[in-house]
Structure 1
Amino acid sequence: MFFIRQQAHATRPHGSFRLFIGSYRVVAAFLCALLPLGALSSPAHAATAVTYFVSPSGSDSNPGTSVDAPFRTLTKAQTAVRAIDKTTSGPITVTLAGGVYRLANTLTFTAADSGGGTAGTVWWKAASGQTPVISGGVQISGWAKTSTSSDIWSAPAPSGLDTRQLYVGGVRAQRATGSLPVSLTQTATGYTTASGDPMAGWRNPSAIEFVYRGGLGLWTEPRCPVASVTSTAITMAQPCWNNSTQRVMRTDDSGRTYNLVGRKSITEKPTAVENAYELLDKPGEFYLDKSEHRFYYIPRSGENLANADVEAPSLDTLVASSGKASDEPSHVGFQGIQFSYANYTTSNTGTGFSEIQATYQVTGTTGYATQGLCDFVSGGSCPYGNWTKMPAAVRFSYDKSIHFDHDYFVHLGAAGLDLGDGSQNDTVTACVFTDISGNGLDLGGVDIPQPSSSAQHTSAITVKDSHFYDTATEYHGGVAIDAGYIETSTITHNQIDHVPYTAISIGWGGWPDKVSLPAQPNYSNSNTISNNLIYDHMSLLGDGGAVYTNGITGTSMANGEHVTGNVVHDQLNTSGGHVLYTDNGATYVSILGNAVWNISVSPWGSKHVNYTVGDGTYDPTDIEGNYWPNGPSDYDNKEVLIQKNHNITGADQVPSSITAAGGIESQYQAILSWQPA
């Protein structure tokens, strides 16, 4: 700092100010010339963080700005968040106290709920040490024995309630089930029976459902409701019956007849009969009589219905986006939240569940003849392979940067979480998926193989360090993680165990190669499935695997699908399928450095003719550096490279660097001991 001694009455320089310190003054004009622009301006104020609090015991008349005066409902908190200017606010958090938040309607997120700017990600998160439950269920109370000599208890159901699930003390009950009480002969409309069919005297015959394990292929388990029963005939509900028995076939140039995906028709007798009061005979089974609005249940040992929490799902979708590219939410996160008791009842209607694969299904009155068949049949609907997707309890599409962190998807009646068309830059980290009727997690879709805009792409999704077990508990052809058309996405360091069919399925649209035609063109590319731990899968169905791929996965080996470093053991099926499975049309797949042991099927298969280029080659595939028993021989021909694999007989022959890296990373392993609230 410069100081100048002044003479008395000196003339003040024009345009300056003077700061006198004793007999000295600062020549500020000179200093200002030396300082950077803005150095003398007022300091900027940091953006203020905003936190709202919600509790089931709160009140929406509270301000919601303290833990002592929380809101009661999620919708009130959502309204408050929407009113914040996200361009100037600091971080925004909605803190949920433990307890149950019962929804009458779906909590829908739109652009108005987005973070971004100085707000960053808007987090909806659990209060420390607590587990809030977002629920679509209703409590069922008023249980009483139907008679003193009976094991059956009953309770009133809300008028109009239809559900396929009941949970007692957090444990899923089984719909009353049994075997056929009569022999059947299949007809165009159902079955004929021996005279005196006892089902003719059962209550509510139109509520009965037939289950067909493997009925439309080893990988399927279709379900069709009964329409009516007489003493000599059973008429099946439509359109499920036609969609499951009259699927259009295509004849190729050689005269052979194929259905493009599975079988033409159910031909076996039902493997089980469900949802009849007369089948209610074992502890843990229930029956809902919709005509009299009443549940019937046989308690398990130790259950006391006088004080048990009994939940029936009522709401189909708990949380969702608007589903519009013009109104997409972005920068929203969910942390530490349990999503439970979502409903799904389409299977109870005439639509039933006419499965194609991975819970996709044929629907509509002419679905069997046209749906998803595009140019392969006259009048086919396009695009090819666009069959009906089972909905999820939590579903987002046309969104950006939606994050799920340490969330729990449990006790759900369809799929768990769906990040569908137009979901971009989303993450699923350290989440648990269990006790889910259908797929655990759906990524992308099968309805837009060739998007017309970048907004329709499902891209840059990361699924990591999450635990999937006991998924597909009702629809056994479901998959723990199912991805349709997606790009630049990663599924890594997850653990998947105790599932009835495939653990991870990725890709779609490869089945035309059954009739010597190219797979459906699509935008999928640059996806990686790495370092997952998979075991005790394929426990009920066949023709699947640990990692199943279908269709075109990229445009070159460089940007095709990479399956690397996965650890797989104890695949439980004994026939059909493979462990690392490249099925119809699987093009540009690299399977590198995986470990497989204790299996009864081949560790990899198989190569398919590449009808896309039509030059007699196979779909390009690279199989290298894997450790497995009875693997394929070395091969380098027609775009397929198989080399440097290692034949082993047990886990002790796998490098520890591979086994140690498989599954959930150490910092997230606490989720392996998580229990539902």
Structure 2
Amino acid sequence: MSARPRLALFSTICAVLALGVPGISAQAQASSSSDVYVSPVIGNDHADGTARHPVRTLRRAQDLVRARAPRLTADLTVHLAPGTYRQTTPLVLDARDSGTGGHRVVWQGDGGAVISGGRQVTGWRRVPGRPGLWSAPAPQGLTDTRQLYVDGVRAQRARGAVPVQLTQTATGYTASSDTLAHWKHPSDAEFVYTSGEALWNIERDGLGQWTEPRCRIAAAQGTTITMVQPCWDNSNKRVEFPDIPGRTVGMVGPGKLTDGGRATYIENAYELLDQPGEWYLDRTAHTVYYLPREGERLAHADVEAAAGEKLVEGRGTAAAPVHDIAFRGLRFSYATWLTPSRPEGFSEIQAGYTVTGAQGWATQGLCQYVEGGTCPFASWTKMPGNVSFAYGQRIEFADDVFAHLGAAGLDLGTGTKDSTVDGSVFTDISGNGLEIGGVDGQTPASGVQVTDNHLYGLPREYHGGVAVLNGYTQHDTIAHNQIDHVGYSAISLGWGGWPDKIGDPATPNPSHDNAVRDNLVFDYMQMLDDGGGIYTQGLTGTSMTDGEKVTGNVIHDQWGLGKNVYTDNGCTYETVEGNVLYHAAYANVASRHTDYRDDLGNNDPTLVKGNWWEEGTADGDNKGLVTSGNTIMAGLSDVPSDVLENAGLEAPYRGLLNLRVGALSVPEAPSRVGTSTAGADALYVTFNPSFADGGSPVISYTARVHDASGSEVGRRTVSAAEFKRTALVRVDGLTGGPFTVTVTAANAHGDSAPSLASAPLTPTAATVPPPAPTSPKLRTARTAATLAWTPPTTTGDAKVVGYLVTVSDGRDPIAVTGRDVLVGQPSAKGMFRVIGELKPGTSYTVTVATVTAAGTGAAAKVTATTGS
């Protein structure tokens, strides 16, 4: 805070001091005499904690609570006045901090209270010889961080293309030159392995298309690059079955970094500072560097380096749980997580779980499948929460904000019971938004209610994270939340189902009676693949009665490859009923899995009933996979309005959608730019859109084409709406090659930084027309039909960019475009589209033809009659 605002605030405080603590209502000040009052501005830890004499710190308030909690006759409220409560260590709560006598201890933010692990960075100066670059001394006590924020806007750790060619070795790489060895601090730098479905000339690396692992460089000497351990071995030596080539004993992803272990990009080096919004902490020189965005004035900005790793930590035990505590109206911000920067790194398995430990690759979570394997199966290491509870009972979070955080936002872990998260916002979080329970075989979470929250714009760093992660739990409800603009799956439940890949039953677990209902989920899987709006795997109960219920949700507009509701490995006893599901990549619901708990050859018991969808699968009982009474929807007008209106935030909570967190800014850069020939003088460009929009919707994207010298030789701007419809930008008028492409996103506040560049590509003429799709089917209802087909296995001399559908009633041909078109062909995933406005009891002939840069190929044809 600058001197002038601080003086103004002090004057205000002096003027109203006689009336009590600023920001605390008269009603609150007149409440129970046992209440505690805290102010970070005028408080004094030698005071008695009354409304007129507040204490200053949470730690001192905790002391007063512990003295009063054993004798409660009403709720005890800790009133937190507006201001920032800076934590050098977490507020650690245990049984002594609990409510008693049926009453709660309520930590109440009375308007603008921020619990922060940040350190303000001040004293900014221009760096001589580096135009635009500024530096400041690192704050006292800051030894490392992974996050920096300017006026509440996350800055990007300096990143760029790997400047050398890499050949993988047992301990790292051999580089094509000694460039990295000459960097100031090569051991600060971190390789990032962005995964994804193989698409055009996007490299597919990492540890599965749902992951984004990271490992730091240990040393760069000459052309020898040594990577840190155990991250390197945990990412490259995962045990495989000797008799099942390529199948890891963990059964989740490959045994080593794919694509030769080449990193997608490199992060965290002074030498990479080249784009506005990038920063770097030189730990040796104790100096922070930053390239300001347009309009940022560092002399007046609040620059926060995330320092603490925990803000609040509830440490209950099975014998002495922490209980009856509420957190209301608070903001939790500016915490980091440093494990990925250490030798442990970030060797991801799924949803932020990682392989850890010196021999993690050989034993962790491998249980009965290897000698010395730890149990239960798949008990890998969960990402921690910056706010976390273990063995907490009747813990409440209401009207809170979890933002600007570097791990998971909130973890209600092992032993959590009868707790609620209500009316809160989760955004700008590095990893998972909210975590519930665990998968380590200890006491499951139970009775957790997650209702009417808004989760969006995450994960910002560990892109395989999910908005809500639910492990082994009982009687949990996830209802009436809105989840939008997320990088991977929105809601992920269950674990341990992967053994069905080798014909074994899913891992036994205590889960049952969980419900996911009436949520609104859209614009999800914006960066990674193989997930869903609601993703479930493993046993969900002991019968259809107590198995998981997925009901009344509205889920639409998926970008990555996957499904609206994804019942993955071993998902058993799940009911999917009354949902509205559309605009998915290749299925609205389910994947069929064999039930290996016996030798009968049945499928995992699943009921898919009464949904509105586009998939159009007919009613039937496929050995326990029951499909019944679903409706093909040609548009939202086919869905009862009350079903649509009931999903998402309930009326009293819809104001959360207007709550702004942080300053308005430009969007985050798009990612995973890929190119394909569009003819001898043109390129098609696709990319993953910006799901962190800076608080203002993205309105357009601009693709810029660069020649081998880096000069721009072409560009094209398209609206965000057009790109969402086509997933393509075509740039014409190119001569020669090869070319790389970068993409920027624009909102009302300007352009993002450019994306990382695509791989080089030279456009070529496309003259060979594509073959026809195969296996066309027309799944009919009375007035609509779903046309389904399989993409061709070969496409001539260009990639698929669309399909053309004709209907025998003479209507204009229907152009089929979108991201699913691009990912469907190389992955051999089926396609489908709904054809509406049909007449009952009428025969129709429909054709579908493949479109590439060479033109429209031959058509496949199918005939069927609508229902009467």
TM-score, normalised with respect to structure 2 = 0.70
| Equivalent residue number for residue 522 of structure 2 | 535
| Equivalent residue number for residue 515 of structure 1 | 502
Q: Aligned match of 1:299 in 274, 286, 292?
A: 292
Mapping 1:39-438, distance limit 5 Å: 50-57=34-41, 58-66=43-51, 68-84=52-68, 86-117=70-101, 120-127=103-110, 130-147=111-128, 150-157=131-138, 158=140, 161-194=143-176, 196-214=177-195, 215-251=206-242, 257-259=247-249, 260-268=251-259, 269-438=262-431
Query: In structure 2, how many angstroms separate the alpha carbons of the residues matched to 1:477 and 1:219?
Result: 6
Native 8 Å contact 1:511 1:584 kept in 2: yes
Partner deviation per Cα, 1:47-100 (whole Å, 9 max, x = no partner): 96632111012111222111x321111111111111115445222111110100
Question: The residue matched to 2:462 in structure 1 has which SS?
Answer: coil
User: How far does residue 230 in structure 1 lie from its aligned partner after superposition?
Assistant: 3.0
Question: The residue matched to 1:393 in structure 2 has which SS?
Answer: strand
User: How far does residue 414 in structure 1 lie from its aligned partner after superposition?
Assistant: 0.3
1:479–1:257 Cα change, 3 Å: closer
Partner deviation per Cα, 1:523-573 (whole Å, 9 max, x = no partner): 100000000000111011000000000100000001000000000111111
Native 8 Å contact 1:258 1:514 kept in 2: no
Question: The residue matched to 1:134 in structure 2 has which SS?
Answer: strand
Native 8 Å contact 1:49 1:91 kept in 2: no
Query: In structure 2, how many angstroms separate the alpha carbons of the residues matched to 1:56 and 1:631?
Result: 59
Question: The residue matched to 1:368 in structure 2 has which SS?
Answer: helix
Structure 2's unaligned 5+ residue stretches are 1-30, 196-205, 663-868
Question: The residue matched to 1:578 in structure 2 has which SS?
Answer: strand
| Equivalent residue number for residue 858 of structure 2 | none
Question: The residue matched to 1:470 in structure 2 has which SS?
Answer: strand
Query: In structure 2, how many angstroms separate the alpha carbons of the residues matched to 1:154 and 1:225?
Result: 24
Larger Rg: 1
Q: Aligned match of 1:445 in 438, 441, 459?
A: 438
Question: The residue matched to 2:65 in structure 1 has which SS?
Answer: helix
User: How far does residue 122 in structure 1 lie from its aligned partner after superposition?
Assistant: 1.4
Query: In structure 2, how many angstroms separate the alpha carbons of the residues matched to 1:223 and 1:579?
Result: 28
Query: In structure 2, how many angstroms separate the alpha carbons of the residues matched to 1:484 and 1:623?
Result: 23
Partner deviation per Cα, 1:190-223 (whole Å, 9 max, x = no partner): 11122x3322211111111110011100100000
Structure 1 position 603 matched with structure 2 position 588: yes
User: How far does residue 284 in structure 1 lie from its aligned partner after superposition?
Assistant: 0.3
1:283–1:634 Cα change, 3 Å: same
Partner deviation per Cα, 1:468-515 (whole Å, 9 max, x = no partner): 001211000000000110000100000001110000000000011111
Query: In structure 1, how many angstroms separate the alpha carbons of the residues matched to 2:246 and 2:333?
Result: 48
Tell me which amino acid in the other structure corresponds to 2:214: R
Question: The residue matched to 1:226 in structure 2 has which SS?
Answer: strand
User: How far does residue 634 in structure 1 lie from its aligned partner after superposition?
Assistant: 2.2
| Equivalent residue number for residue 571 of structure 2 | 586
1:524–1:186 Cα change, 3 Å: same
Partner deviation per Cα, 1:437-484 (whole Å, 9 max, x = no partner): 000000000101xx5xxxx23100000000000121100000000011
Native 8 Å contact 2:247 2:255 kept in 1: no
Question: The residue matched to 1:400 in structure 2 has which SS?
Answer: strand
Question: The residue matched to 1:423 in structure 2 has which SS?
Answer: coil
Partner deviation per Cα, 1:18-75 (whole Å, 9 max, x = no partner): xxxxxxxxxxxxxxxxxxxxxxxxxxxxx96632111012111222111x32111111
Mapping 1:480-499, distance limit 5 Å: 480-499=467-486
Native 8 Å contact 1:394 1:418 kept in 2: yes
User: How far does residue 601 in structure 1 lie from its aligned partner after superposition?
Assistant: 2.3
Query: In structure 1, how many angstroms separate the alpha carbons of the residues matched to 2:247 and 2:82?
Result: 58
Higher normalized contact order (CA 8 Å, seq sep 6+, divided by chain length): 1
1:633–1:230 Cα change, 3 Å: farther
User: How far does residue 258 in structure 1 lie from its aligned partner after superposition?
Assistant: 4.3
1:210–1:438 Cα change, 3 Å: same
Native 8 Å contact 1:598 1:650 kept in 2: no
Tell me which amino acid in the other structure corresponds to 2:409: G
1:49–1:641 Cα change, 3 Å: farther
Query: In structure 1, how many angstroms separate the alpha carbons of the residues matched to 2:129 and 2:171?
Result: 42
Native 8 Å contact 1:49 1:89 kept in 2: no
User: How far does residue 349 in structure 1 lie from its aligned partner after superposition?
Assistant: 1.0
Question: The residue matched to 1:117 in structure 2 has which SS?
Answer: coil
| Equivalent residue number for residue 647 of structure 2 | 662
Native 8 Å contact 1:531 1:565 kept in 2: yes
User: How far does residue 645 in structure 1 lie from its aligned partner after superposition?
Assistant: 0.8
User: How far does residue 650 in structure 1 lie from its aligned partner after superposition?
Assistant: 2.5
| Equivalent residue number for residue 766 of structure 2 | none
| Equivalent residue number for residue 458 of structure 2 | 471
| Equivalent residue number for residue 21 of structure 2 | none
Structure 1's unaligned 5+ residue stretches are 1-46
| Equivalent residue number for residue 625 of structure 1 | 610
Question: The residue matched to 2:657 in structure 1 has which SS?
Answer: helix
Question: The residue matched to 1:250 in structure 2 has which SS?
Answer: coil
Native 8 Å contact 2:563 2:585 kept in 1: no
Query: In structure 1, how many angstroms separate the alpha carbons of the residues matched to 2:69 and 2:245?
Result: 66
1:206–1:563 Cα change, 3 Å: same
Query: In structure 1, how many angstroms separate the alpha carbons of the residues matched to 2:65 and 2:444?
Result: 28
Query: In structure 1, how many angstroms separate the alpha carbons of the residues matched to 2:432 and 2:413?
Result: 13
Partner deviation per Cα, 1:396-422 (whole Å, 9 max, x = no partner): 011110000100100001000000110
Query: In structure 1, how many angstroms separate the alpha carbons of the residues matched to 2:62 and 2:365?
Result: 39
| Equivalent residue number for residue 645 of structure 1 | 630
Question: The residue matched to 1:278 in structure 2 has which SS?
Answer: helix
Tell me which amino acid in the other structure corresponds to 1:135: S
Native 8 Å contact 1:286 1:296 kept in 2: yes
Native 8 Å contact 1:49 1:90 kept in 2: no
Partner deviation per Cα, 1:116-175 (whole Å, 9 max, x = no partner): 315x12111112xx1100011111111100126521100111355111110011100000
| Equivalent residue number for residue 19 of structure 1 | none
User: How far does residue 676 in structure 1 lie from its aligned partner after superposition?
Assistant: 3.3
- Kindly indicate which of the two structures has a greater share of residues assigned to strand: 2
1:511–1:469 Cα change, 3 Å: same
Tell me which amino acid in the other structure corresponds to 2:541: G
Per mean C-alpha deviation after superposition, the further-off stretch among 495-504 and 150-159 is 150-159
Structure 1 position 550 matched with structure 2 position 537: yes
Tell me which amino acid in the other structure corresponds to 1:534: V
TM-score, normalised with respect to structure 1 = 0.89
